[in-house]
Every structure is written in structure tokens, then in C-alpha cells.
Structure 1
Amino acid sequence: MNKKTQRHADHPTLPAPEEPTGIYLNRELSQLAFNRRVLAQAEDPSIPLLERLRYLCIVSSNLDEFFEVRIASLLAHHRMGGTQPIPPALAAVLDRTGIECHSIIERQYALLHQEILPQLSEQGIHLLRHDDRNEAQRAWVKEYFERQVRPLLTPIGLDPAHPFPQVINKSLNFIVELTGKDAFGRGTGIAILKAPRVLPRVIRLPDELSKKGVAFCLLSSVIHAHIADLFTGRDVVAYSQFRVTRNSDLWVDEEEVKNLRQALRMELQTRQFGFAVRLEVARNCPPHLAQFLLDQFSIDKSRLYAVDGPVNMVRLLELINNVRQPALHFPSFQAGLPMASGDGDIFSMLTRRDILLHHPFQSFQPVVDFIRAAALDPNVVAIKQTIYRTGMNSDLMESLIAAAQRGKEVTVIVELMARFDEEANINWAEKLERTGAQVVYGVVGLKTHAKLALVLRREGGELRRYAHLGTGNYHPTTTKHYTDFGLLTAHPALTAEANEIFIHLTSLTKPNKLHHLWLAPFALQKEIIRAIKNEAEIARQGKPARIIAKMNALLDESVIRALYAASSDGVKIDLIVRGACALRPGVPGLSENIRVRSIIGRFLEHSRIYYFRNGLAHDVYLASADWMNRNLFRRVEVAFPVLDKALKKQVITQGLNPYLKDNVNAWELGADGKYHRRRPRGKQQAFCAQQYLAQLLGTPGG
């Protein structure tokens, strides 16, 4: 046992995402390893109880997307080959991911029933199954069913005139087996019942029916209890809830369509009915009913999941949001504001210095105020902005609409293909166009993922530029829960190059040479490789060389090869990778100078930071891009330098160093492909980076 293995022997260890061979770890299995780390948060008794339940829901949501996108993508490539058998390599990946998914899901439901729900009950929060409800509660549930549920239900008995109904992606449904004859004397044996989406999935019982605390029940439990009432004159032999997960990637032929927005809106109508990739049923579902559903949806039995509880655990978020017990949630937190010297409006402040924002520890409100001020200021003549995700409600988007209504030149580059945000983005694009804003949809074949906003203001007969450059989305919700950096600046070179990028995206002309901003798909990957090689050259000269990078995922093989080469040359490399990581660290002769860690905490780590020591220059870049092939070659991405020395130091001391010190929420990836949880050793003090930053920048107890 080597020193590194021994050091972690007493700490939790997660399964390896791949055998300890080869220089790359498998993407899908590494992504599932990330979900193991999220699941570990739900297992942690030091975390407030309802937050542990929230982590369980997050794992379910992540697995939904894993099947909708990653597994669907693997299967889609095979389906394009017609009836050919699944290739051995693909079969091996599907087999290993299936085993791991079954294991994760089994642990989820065990944790739900053995720990979290019993402990919630001790706190006076009861999730009642039918057998748990007393007579008064059963009477109330029956009345609720008759008044609120039954009128909306439409059971479908299957026969040649009643074919199997269309089942929407991730919807709640029931399969029912019947005996006896129907009203026409026929022996139709199977019925399908779809639960209307307008009904809440978690129902709170009146407080007077719960002597101790509050009581809830699930819609599935309500329907289960009264499902026999729907089939007068028939006997229900067996039944089960079920849910189908479908391929949810949208596809349009961008070279053929004349209007991407219209084509995408039509495609959205069919998203709910992509080919099926997973079937979830209740654990007590009879095998022959499960097989009937598998055959109906053409799903392999390996992707059948029989679960002990609700088939959609994500819906338990409704319970979490319905309980107001502070002790069961994370302590309340109020984001701070950056210190600003002197009085005056945002533009006068930016003429004096740049402003760095670190979310969610610092509020996103200054960015909203920046766009709002631009919309209202008579001296502002133009606003340009990229939009990737912004949500259904957004003060920022309303400000852009107001600016257009006031006659300002408003140009918005809306990414219509932002996965699962397509409909919201289409709606905003239509609203903007109706007010006279110029809306374009980026570049055909590429997603516009860069986070840029530019304001042009007339000052003293000249136009002056102001910009916001960020690592995260202009989204009012995620800015409160995701860690990101944003830079408000009037720096002439940075704002001029931001303007060049907007001209490039709207005119589709080749961008002029950029000296500060790294733009994908043209230069970002080349600049990252160049900076890595530069550190390697410095190391070969016997000088200190250092790279620290923070991102969501590290999968691009060209970057990984460059990091391996730099490690062999003696560069000390620390990588903070929240999710999937294909790089294998700590391998003698290959990556012995590389350490990889993942931080999983209260907030979702989302900022991308690239640090290169470069002698004593200490180059710091903030970016919208992970080190993935899609980000470097198939998206419009921007990495921007932090030029102000004080702000550069701030990024290092807030965005990197605390995460390298963390021994509470940190997991280290070993050469064997396993993640090991870091814990304080000996007399070492516990240090949580997120808690430290919240105390440093925020206002606790807000």
C-alpha cells in the first residue's frame, strides 16, 4: 500500500469509474461517480435532514438527464446502424453503467426509507402510505380523490380500438391488470392510467388530521388506494406505477431550415415522445406486467428499474419546499455586495476601476442593476448581450425589453438549443423581437455559450464601452445556488474585443485578431495548450512551474495529453473538477505531479478558472468553458483575463486556494480511478471552502 492509499484508508472511498488501466477514464462512469459523491451528501448525518433529502432528489434529477442525454446518445448512434447487434465496446459501457445505476438507485431508496423518512417522522414530518393513514386521514384522502383526482383520470382499457396510449417522457402512469368482462362482455385484461400533470405529486393533509407535526401523502398513493374504484364490475388483480425516460435531445437540420426558432418550436412538440431508454416500475410490479411494458416501449430488460417508492423521487422537492423548519434546512444566507469606493452610478464607478463579483457569496444584483441602468440612461445608445439560460422570469430580460422600447439599439444573441431551456428562450426571443430588438440565434452548428454583455454610452461626444464578462448564466435562480465569477469593466481593450465578438456573431465574419480574449472554436483550445506548454518549458529550465484549473468537467484528450506531458516535465498541477474527469492522476511517469479533487457542497461549483504561474506573471483567466471537446470546438466560448492585480489576487485567494485547502467537501481522485473523501487528520482543523467564502463575503443569517 503506497502512502497516498494509506492516507485515505480510514476515509470513505467510492468505486472506481473504470479498471485501473489505460490513461483515460470513461466519461459515463466518471459522470456516475460524480452522482455517487452527491449521494454521499445525502448520507452525511451532519447535513440538515431536508437538505439530505434534497441531495437525494438531485441525484434522481441527474440520473434522469444521464439517461435522457448520455445513454440516449449512445443508443442513438447504434440505432442509426439499423438492426445490427450492439458492438461489444458499447455493450460493455451500457453494462457497466447499468450495474452502477442500479447500485446508486438501490442505495437511494434504502437511504430514503431506512434513514431520512424515519428521521423526518421523528421531527413531526410524516409521508404517509395508505397503510400508515388512520381512519380520519383515509376519509380525507378518499374525499380528495373524489373531488380533485377522479374527475381528471381517464383509464384506457387496451383493445384493437383502444391502442396503447402515448406516454409522455418522465410522466406518472399506472398499468392495471383486470379480471372479468368489460361492459361489452369482452375480457380486456390490461388498462393504462395516466396521472394528469396538473395535479400536485405531494399533497399536504390538513393540520388537524396530524396530531404531531405535518402529514403528506403522494398522489401515487392516493391513486393506488382507490384504483379499484375506477373499474366498476371488474376486479383489479395487480397494478403498478411506471415511468418511462425518453431521449430528450432535440435535432433540427440547421442547414435546411429557414427559421431556426420556428423549426425548434415544432421539434419541442415531439421531445416528450423520443425513443424510450429506461423503464421504472414499483418493486412489487408483477414480472409479466413489467415485461409487457418493456415490449411496448422496446426497452432492454437491463434498463428496467424496480424501485421501492415513488418512481420519480424528484417530486419530493415539493415536500421540502412545503416545510418551514429552519433547523432542517441549511442556515439562511444573504449574499454580500462588493465594496465600491465613492458614490455615483455604475458607469462612473467602472471608469475608476473594475468590479469583480463572486456569486452566490456576492449578489448578482449589480449585474441586473448594470443592465437596468443602461436601459434607463439616456446616454446609452446600445446594449448587446448573449443569453444561454435565463429562466421564465427575469428582471434582466425585462430591462432589455424596456431598452428596446425606449429606442435603444438592443442586440441579443439567444441560444435556442440550450438543453431544457429551449422553450423559455424561444419565448424571450419572441418578446424581444416584438419590441424592436435585433435577435439572432448564434452560429449554425455551434451553441453560443459565452457570457457577455456590452453597453455603449455616449460621453463627451465619444462612445465609451462597458462590459460584463462572466462564467455563469444570466439566470435569477442559479446565481443564488451556483458559484460563478463575473467582471464588470470599462477596460478599453477588453470591451473592444467583446464588441468584436458580437460583430462576429451577428455578421458571421471572421473575427479580428484578439489579444486578450480566448475565443472558441477558433483559439481557446490552442491558447490553453500553449499556456500549458509554456509552463512545461519553464519547468524544463529548472524554474517553478504551476497550473491550477477549476471547471465542471475535464474530458478533452488533447488538453489531457498536454497536462500529462507538463507533469512529466515537472509542472505542479492541481485540478478542481466538479464532475466527470477522464484524466487519471498520480500515475508514475505519466501524471505523478497532477492532483485532481472534486468539491461537492451546499452550492453547485460552476466557475471556470485557469491559472498559470508563467514566471511571476500569475496569469488568471475566467471562462464559460470546461475542458471538453464540445466546449473547445463545438461552442462559442470566451475566456477572459483578470488584468487588475488586486482582482487577480482575489480570484486566486477566493476561487482557488480555499478549494485546495478544503477537507470537508473535497474528494480526491486516485490513480486507481477511485475518489477518496478528504477529512481532517490528527489535530488538523476542519475547513470548508464554501462556508469560509460565505462568512468572508456574505451576510449570515439573512
Structure 2
Amino acid sequence: MNNAVNNIATEYSYNERYINRELSILDFHLRVLEQAVDPLHPLLERLNFLQIFTRNMDEFFEIRVAGVMEQLSLGNESRSPDGLTPKQVLETISKTAHAAIERQYRILNEEILPALRQEDICFLRRGELSPAQSVWVKKYFQEQVAPVLTPISLDPAHPFPRLVNKSLNFIVTLEGKDAFGRHIDLAVVPAPRSLPRVVRLPDDLTEGKEHFVMLSAIIHEHVSDLFPGMTATGCYQFRVTRNADLALNEDVDDLAKALKGELNSRRFGRAVRLEVTENCPTHIYEYLLHRFDLDLEQLYKVNGPVNLARLVSNFKRPHLRYDSHTPILPKVLKKTENIFAAMKKQDILLHHPFESFAPVINLLREAARDPQVLAIKQTLYRSGVDSEIVQVLAEAARNGKEVTAVIELRARFDEESNIAVANVLQEAGAVVVYGIVGYKTHAKMILVVRREQNKLERYVHLGTGNYHAGNARIYTDYGLLTTDKELCEDVHRMFQELTGMGKMPKLKKLLHAPFTLHTQLLHFIDDEIANAKAGKPAHIIVKVNALTEVQLINKLYEASQAGVQIDLIIRSICCLRPGLPNLSENIRVRSIVGRFLEHTRVYYFSNNGQARIYCSSADWMDRNLFNRVEACFPVDDPVLKKRIYEQGLLNYLQDNRRAWTLNGDGTWQRVEKAENQESHNAQQILIDTIV
């Protein structure tokens, strides 16, 4: 720890200096939840935020809570940088999460569903069905649902079934005897994932309105039909969430084969949460808690479906959604048909989703079909097997190009998809490597080698986000298309490092983790400290998804003490406490939660008037800086630098519609537009002004 931070150690304890990482990401999920009550969002977008919150919380329990529970089970009482023990973290998570999930269902039942009814979109309860609708639902159950259900009685010959992570299930209480004369008290009915969770009633039964009934209601109404001769006296939804983190031995001979073997364990990992409906009797949920080896703190009672993430349908109400947004093409690409000629002319900056992702695909497509192109190299972190990028790479390989794909098999929750991508490309003749065991390959790079007038020329794309066209429509990211010789040479050397496993290459412009990035960031902050101490202007702006790395946090504290003005735009996790006297009073932290998921990673250092601007695939987290292969690239073109500074940084610092600010006590506060202040929605401004 540096001297400056040591000087304030007596004034601020650890928990006063740092915010717990798990609690910080939980706070982000709460900011997402608040979007569901924001009248500035159209109604169906508010429903969508409820669903996003559900998915976020699922992953939070699967990974973050599971990790803390694992520490506790191993007897690990070591404190995190904020001074909290695993037990203290779990206690706080439980209290916060219970309140948040209760609020989520209150928003659903008291605000969203009534507002949808006013638009003739109704989720009907069993008692609301008309006689004709009840007949249709019964027939639907008999023909579409019952044939794929497998009721499982609970008795000595039928032990409690092994239920898949996050699957919808019903526990049924029974009276009477079965066909063998046995008294069966309980049964479990798993709902196959192939069944839709929301069923639309035919228009001729709804007077043209959009009426739906939940699968859970259909099963509940007719569950007795699954147990002939017996009576179902109760039927209760439940869902168990399990530890979904993969524990992969680094000492393996075949990474893909080892990963395949681990994927099944994710479906049946240790239980970390049990969700039941509010009407579930005490003796039933206590029985389930015992079966899943959970305590009462891990029980979540909900007033509605146990999984809102699947509360979706193709609603025919466009006025209840955002107006569609069509990303544009940069002017230089409109004027030049050939992308290689356009890149030769100038560096091209792409800001997604405001600008199209198509130029990235076009670069690969033209390279695949251009007889002058010899080789294509690309990193892939999240790309589905059906994605156009994968298909174009396969086409390039079949066309005789030397195609090399560095595929990160361990991209969380995309492991199975990435194995399939690897198989497709290998079958097409591409060279596929899986990066480096122990270090996830998270860098976003494309390198195209083309023969021009007996010389080999390189074309490069570097990005802050994944090569996933779907993500590029909903995530904000930067991409740079360039022929800068030094950058192209650096990318070439990084690919050599990834495929050849040689010594760390010396790069001219790129900063890369786990080697030079962290050290250089500290140097850049030191330069701002020196400028501030010399009486020169000193300013740092960092826009990332998360800030957790303690050395960088301490260095920012030191910079604040020296008088450096620091603005941090952090989407989710922030372990730094801003605004504390004699520690961080010159640091301001804000978070933007809006229509698109903020994902750009930009670092700005004023550098005494010679601004440094870098874009990167790396957040300021330990894992990115020390345990991943990351690429951080400078933007040198003055026009592009100005554009990033004004549109990608200052624009977000002025937002007063979607912004939240972090207080020194760790609480987040929504930015309220002043009475005489103009409305400033950073994302909307980019939609309106990027042309």
C-alpha cells in the first residue's frame, strides 16, 4: 500500500475505505429494478426490466452467493478488502435480496399487471376464466401438457428427484391410494423446459384482446388428472437455484473435453436458493429446505410465478415499447464500397448500437471472398454457432484462407455454445486454439492479412465488446477499424503470443493484460498526480463496467489527495468510496442505467493538454488485469479522440435522466433534473445526433 493511503489509514478503517464487491453488484441489480417503476420507460420495457432483474438475480445467486457460501462451508473467515467476513456478507445479501424480490413482485402485481390490463393485455387467474376458456384450457392441458409431464411420487421406491437448476417444479399433496393400493402423501411434477410458461388464449375466446394464462395455473387446475383415483389437496410451485460456477482443473490434457465433463455439474450443483409461492404451507417448504440442505435465510416466498424471466410473449402493442432504432453506417463507409479502401483512407470508429455492427461483419465477409486476402485471425468470446461471423469465418476457411480462431471456451454460460463454434470452424478447416489455460482470452481482435502490390498489408479491428451481433444492438461498445502499422504489428504479436506461447512480446502501442496494462495505468495516474502537484490541470475520467482492484483504487485516492479531479462512470460494481474528506473528496462516481446496457470501457487522462484516450476490453478488476488476456488500444486520431471525449464521456457526465451517483456511505442516489435544467439523456442524445 502506498504512503499516501497509509497516511489516512488511522482516519478511515477498511470498511470505511472500500465497498464490498458482492453488495455493490447487488446494488446495481437494485438500480435495474428501479427502471420497472420509471414512467420514462414505455410499459413493456418496464416489464422487460423486471425480467432482466430476475435473470440478474439468478446469476447473482448462481455465482456470487454460491461463491460466498462455498467460502463459509470451507471455514474461510478471511475478510474482504472492506473488512467483512463471508458470514457478514451473506447476512447482508439475504436481508437486501429478500426486500428487493418482495418489491419486484409488488411492482408486478400493483403496477405492471394493472397497467397492462388497461391496455387489454391480461394474465388471467384460474378463477377469471370464462366457461369457454376453461374448456379450451382443459383440452390444451390434455393434448399439449399432460403427455410431456412425469409426475413422481415420493416414497421409498421413488426418492426425491434430482431437479435441474432453475427448473419449474410443483410439489403436490395427495389423498387416497394409488393403483397399487399405496398411500402416497407427496409427489413432485417437474415442468419440462420445452413447455411455454405463458399460453395465449385464442382470439375468438377473448374478443380480440390479448389474454394469457400461465402454465403454472394450467397445471395447478388439472394436477389431479395426473393421479387417477387420488385427490390433489395442494399444488405449489417451487424453483431451486444451484451453484453454476465451473471448477475446472488447470492441469488438463484436453480443455474442451474437460469442460464438457463439467457442464453437466452446473445443472446439479449445490443448492443456494429455494423459491416457493406465498401460499406454500410451512411444513412443505420446511420439507423442501431439508431436501436441498438449505436454511430459512435461503428461502424466498414470492407472490406470483417463481420465474419472471419467462413471463414473455409477442405482445402486439408497439406503442408500449421504444421506437425501433436503426444503427447507421459511418459516412466514410457509405461513400466507399470496398472496406479495405475505406480503412486505408482513415481510422474508423464505431459506436454501437448507435452505429452499425455490419462493418465488422463486412470486413470478414470481404476478406473471406477477396483473392488477395491470405489470412484471418480472430478472438471469439461470445459468438453463437449460428452467428454470421462464425459462418463467414467457416466460409473463409473453405475458400482456402488461413483462418485462426482463438476461442475462449470458458466464457461463463456460453461454454457449450463456444465448443459448438469450435467444432464448426474446425470442420471447415480453420485452426482453432483455446487460448491459455489459467487465463481467459477476453481481448477483442481481428487481424486480416492481404497481399497488395507484392507487399503484405494488415487490417485490424479492436473492440471493447464481444463479436456478437445481437449484443451489438443492445450493448454500448466501441470498435476501431485501423491500418495503423504499429497497432497492426502489436495485434499480430498478440496473436503469436496466444497461439505460439512464446515470451511476452514487446508492444509499441497496445497495452495488454496480464503484462503491461495494470502497471501502465498506475503510471498514467502518477503523471496526473505530478501535474496536479505542479499546479497544472489534472483530470481523469474512467468509464468501465466495474472497479474493484485495490491498487488502482488506492492510487485514485492518492490522486484525489493531490488535487486531481476524477470522474468515474461505473455501470455496476464500484468498491471505491467517493467524496470522503482527506481521501476521495475530488472523486465523483456515477452510473448510467438506461435503454441500452452500458459496456464501453474508456480511460481518459488529461496529460497536461496532450490527452491520452484508451479503449479496452478490460474493466478495472483483478480478474481482467491479472487473470485474463486483454487488449487496451490508444485512439490517436484527433477527430476520433474529440468524439470519444465529448460523446462517450462528457455526454454521460451531463446525464440527468438515467444517472445515479454514489455517496461516500455506499448508497446510490438517482440524479434529479433541476427545475430550470434541460433534460439530458445521454443515450437518447447519441441516437438523435450520431449521423
Amino acid at match of 2:321: H
State the partner residue of 1:526: 519
Residue from 201, 204, 210 that aligns with 2:200:
204
Q: 1:544 aligns to what?
A: 537
Q: Does 1:290 pair with 2:285?
A: yes
Q: Give the TM-score taking structure 1 as reference length.
A: 0.94
Partner residue, 1:69: 63
- Would the aligned equivalents of 2:198 and 2:213 in 1 still touch at CA under 8 Å? yes
Map of 1:652 onto structure 2:
645
Correspondent of 2:412 among 407, 411, 419: 419
- The residue identity in structure 2 corresponding to 1:278 is R
Secondary structure of 1:579 counterpart: strand
Q: 1:452 aligns with which of 445, 448, 451?
A: 445
Aligned equivalent of 2:316: 324
Question: How far apart are residue 324 of structure 1 and its match?
Answer: 2.2
* Bigger mean CA offset, 228-237 vs 295-304: 228-237
Give the Cα–Cα distance (whole angstroms) in 2 for the partners of residues 178 and 512 of structure 1.
Answer: 69
Can you list the C-alpha shifts for 1:209-260, whole angstroms capped at 9, x where unaligned? 11252101111111011112211222222221110101111122121x2111
Mapped to 2, the partners of 1:372 and 1:251 lie a distance apart of 37
Of 200, 218, 223, 2:219 maps to 223
Contact 2:76 2:86 in 1 (8 A): no
Q: Residue 577 of structure 1 corresponds to which residue in structure 2?
A: 570
Tell me what 1:14 maps to: none
| Aligned with residue 158 of structure 2, among 156, 162, 166 | 162
Q: Does 1:107 align with 2:103?
A: yes
Tell me the residue number matched to 1:612: 605
CA distance in structure 2 between the partners assigned to 1:588 and 1:78 by the alignment: 35
Q: Find the counterpart in structure 2 of residue 398 from structure 1.
A: 391
State the shift of 1:128 in Å.
0.8
Pick aligned residue for 1:465 from 458, 462, 469 = 458
Match for residue 275 of structure 2? 280
2:330 is the alignment partner of 1:338: yes
Counterpart in the other structure of 2:131: 135
Offset, 1:92: 1.2
SS of match in other structure, 1:637: strand
The gaps in structure 1 that reach 5 residues or longer are 1-18
Give CA-to-partner distance per residue, 1:597-649, whole Å, 9 cap, x none. Answer: 00000000000000000011110000001100111001111110001111111
Partner secondary structure for residue 597 of structure 1: strand
- Could you tell me whether the CA contact under 8 Å between 2:178 and 2:228 is conserved in 1? no
> 1:41-70: per-residue Cα shift (whole Å, max 9, x none)?
101122111000000000000000000000
Change (3 A) 1:83 1:694: closer
Q: Are 1:411 and 1:438, in contact at CA under 8 Å, matched by a contact in 2? A: yes
* Letter of the 1:40 counterpart: E
Distance in structure 2 (CA, Å) of the matches to 1:20 and 1:636 = 30
Q: State the 4+ residue runs in structure 1 displaced beyond 4 angstroms.
A: 81-84
Count, aligned residues? 674
Of 638-647 and 173-182, the range deviating more from structure 2: 173-182
- The answer (yes or no) to whether the contact 2:15–2:84 under 8 Å persists in 1 is no
1:233 is matched with which residue: 193, 214, 229? Answer: 229
1:435-450 matches, within 5 Å, as 435-450=428-443
Q: Which residue of 2 aligns with 1:387?
A: 380
Once the two structures are aligned, what percentage of the paired residues are identical?
51
**Distance in 1 of aligned mates of 2:498 and 2:600:** 24
The answer to whether the 8 A contact 1:238-1:286 is kept is no
Instruction: Tell me which amino acid in the other structure corresponds to 1:329.
Output: R
- Contact conserved, 1:20 with 1:671, CA < 8 A, in 2? no
Q: Secondary structure at the match of 2:245?
A: coil
8 Å contact kept, 2:385–2:424: no
Q: CA RMSD in A?
A: 1.6
CA distance in 2, matches of 1:80, 1:440: 35
Q: Which letter does structure 1 place at the counterpart of 2:331?
A: M
Q: Is 1:59 aligned to residue 35 of structure 2?
A: no
Match of 2:6 in 1: none
Q: Which amino acid aligns with 1:520?
A: A
Give the equivalent residue in structure 2 for 1:588: 581
- TM-score, normalized by length of structure 2? 0.96
- Displacement of 1:177: 1.2
Output the CA distance in 1 between the equivalents of 2:106 and 2:208.
25
Q: Distance in 2 between matches of 1:82 and 1:270?
A: 23
| Matches of 1:578 and 1:422, distance apart in 2 | 25
User: For residues 370 and 212 of structure 1, what CA distance do their matches in structure 2 show?
Assistant: 47
Give distance in 1, aligned partners of 2:51 and 2:419. 28
- What amino acid does structure 2 have at the position aligned with 1:262? K
Q: Structure 1 residue 578: deviation in Å?
A: 0.6
Residue 207 of structure 1 aligns with an amino acid whose one-letter code is: D
Q: Is the 8 A contact 1:381 1:409 kept in 2?
A: yes
Q: Is the 8 A contact 2:198 2:212 kept in 1?
A: yes
State the alpha-carbon separation in 1 of the partners of residues 514 and 31 from structure 2: 32
Shift of residue 676 of structure 1? 1.1
Checking the alignment, whether the CA contact within 8 Å between 1:124 and 1:212 is kept in structure 2 is no
Q: What is the one-letter code of the residue matched to 1:338?
A: P
**C-alpha distance in structure 2 between counterparts of 1:685 and 1:392, whole Å:** 46
